[in-house]
Structure 1
Amino acid sequence: MFKKILFFFALSLCTSTLLSQERPIEIVEEAKANRLFLYALNKNEKDLDVIITVEGTNFRQSKSVPRPVRVPAASKALLTNLIVERGKRASYTYTLQVSDSLSRRALRRETESIKIEPKKKVILYIPDNCTSCDSLVAKLDKGRYLYTAHRFSEKPELKGQLAPAFSNSSVKIDAVATPIVSLNGVLHVKIEDYDQLLEELNK
């Protein structure tokens, strides 16, 4: 459990340190008119139930007992909203309870997908004659993971920077026709589609 004092701004971020997930749930404030909406960002690979309890001054909120809100993996979901008193600035503390033991009582609200960091940093190098790169890029764009892509046609100097990694290999960088994928700095030339990439990420 973790408490943090926050003040009313148009947008701010804070994190809580909890033990039921690899990455802390982040709380994002969004102000609209006289309301302050508090959203949870779940940057983990699993669904979580989140309960937020808010205390403070210069605002009103529902008096009902807080219920868990289901926040799916790699998503953003509304937890609660505060009605800020006219001409004042809300100050409050909040307590989060996070569980991966999912409850049938958890509220299921509209969610928004977000991009998250994979377990291994993904950098994609795209050769000029790559035949499967466009498909892989399209899947990455639609998927949940953050990644970086570089095309040799746009940054030819990268080919020279990567060439030493192939110096003792039977594979020649100028002949590569598949994506060159860097996972935490380790280069792969046999990952041709999204499923293969996910398999390597999960190893």
Structure 2
Amino acid sequence: MTEIRLHDVELLPERTLGSPADGTPLRGRLTFGWDLLPADHAGAPAGWLSYLSATPDRKFRQLLMVCSFRPERPESRGVFRHASLGVALSTPERAAQPIARLIDPGERTHPVPGLGTGMSFTVTTGVLDVGVEKPSGSGPAREEWIVRGHGASQPNPQWEFRRLKGFPLVGDHPVAALVELVPDCINTAEVLVAAELEHRSWGIRRYRAQLTPTPHTIVLAE
């Protein structure tokens, strides 16, 4: 089991038309951490090892990252509605780029209640009408995504995180990429994080994470 140290990240509000003048950053609501692992690490997602065995002449590293979302507090209002984590892979030689050959998850889901059926009764001018309605939460559960990844076989993978009704966007959310490195180059990953929070008085407001240089640019190989 890999233990990742998480670092507090400031969330800076984006100025938009009609947004409140208060530009105070949110602190203590988001933490981020990462670790570099051997490509054949025992905890690699299913299918990664078979991919590596089919490409023995290439060099890979596993980039593991965790975004941890904290619940609303009296001094830090707003609940997370949506967030995104993007990674830009590069080398100083612009003609060559590292590639996120595989990403995890492609999609992570959570069960939500489905629609069921019920009876409705309406009395109009002495006539009883019986109808059928579908109240929420009374049918079988269905799966909806809470984390979704994009950009496999690209130099700029991205993951989206969202809340669902009855399932808030809180807690730790790990993601990973199997990065094919460019030989004999400095391979780096630049991390960008954005989030939307919903406020009772302000509505939905967008934020960007203020990442320090250490988690912001990750050296994958030199």
Q: TM-score range by the shorter chain?
A: 0.3 to 0.5
More RCO (CA 8 Å, sep 6+)? 2
- Relative to its length, the structure with more strand (as a share) is 2
- Relative to its length, the structure with more helix (as a share) is 1
